[in-house]
Homo-oligomer: A and B are copies of this chain.
Amino acid sequence: MDNVLIKILKKPKLKDPILIEGLPGVGNVGKIAADYFLLKSGGIKFAEIYSKYLPPQVLINEDGTIYLVKNELYYVKRKNRRDLIILVGDYQGMSNEGQFEISYEILKFLKNFGVREIITLGGYGTGQMPEKPRVFGASTNDHFVNTFKEYGVLFGSGEPSNGIVGAAGLLIGLGMNFFEMNGICLMGETPGFYSDPKGALALLEILSKFLNEKIDTKDLEEKVKALNDITQKLSEKIEDKSKNEDLGYIG
């Protein structure tokens, strides 16, 4: 069995496509952003990626049918602008070697479609719940650094201090070294201990500017609002409780 099996569904002709990646990771920020963007942009699936480095597992749909865990590639054709390829999936590779193999084979495959630039989406876990999540960046070249600084992305503040682990880092790292691709990793600030739509929303704002693409973020904003409400109520409860406890001391 090959390490990575790519099942090709279509062979679209794409116009200087940009790869956008969002797989599970810290706070699932990258995955939420990419899945949401895929939904709103009406991407068309053209390849499925299977690998022995993914969990040996099938997942079950509502109707009782199954699918093998996988990554997927979609394309989005755009008028008068560069086309897009979106990489999403159930899991990342489960070992060091697996992470490398899957990212490498995806890049090798996408080289055929003329991909020259990559935007990877991830989360940067701070353990804090930010009012307005910041977006941190790291890139293969100065040009991207300067461009995204203008969109408000933060660079080189020594964060994230231990680099970028997983597909979001490997795709741009392998891309720059072996596939003549440039890239940038955008990391939305997130507490990191739950799936976080807020960090994803921050990523989409940056993505929208760079792609010159209006993204309808209403549904995601509602999820953020719902999350905020829950957080609000929880913190009020905690406050109430501590007030009562204070009274207890007075009495």
Contact = CB atoms under 8 A, between A and B. Distances in A.
Interface in A19-60: 48, 50-60
Nearest to A52: B100
A124 to B, nearest CB: 11
Which of A52, A54, A69, A105 has the largest count of B CB atoms less than 10 A from its CB?
A: A52
B145 A57 contact: no
Contacts of A50: 174, 177-178
Nearest to A90: B163
Each complex incorporates copies of this chain amounting to: 4
A155 interface: yes
Interface residues of A, number: 62
Contacts of A52: 96-97, 99-101, 104
Contact of A64 (B59, B145, B166): B145
Interface of A: 1, 3, 5, 7, 48, 50-69, 93-101, 103-105, 137-142, 145, 155-156, 158, 160, 162-166, 169-170, 172-174, 176-178, 185
A1 B139 contact: no
A62 B138 CA distance: 10
Contact of A7 (B141, B158, B170, B177): B177
Nearest to A166: B56
A60 B99 contact: no
Contacts of A3: 1
A177 B59 CA distance: 14
Contacts of A69: 163
Contacts of A105: 1
Which of A5, A59, A98, A160 has the largest count of B CB atoms less than 10 A from its CB?
A: A59
A56 B99 contact: yes
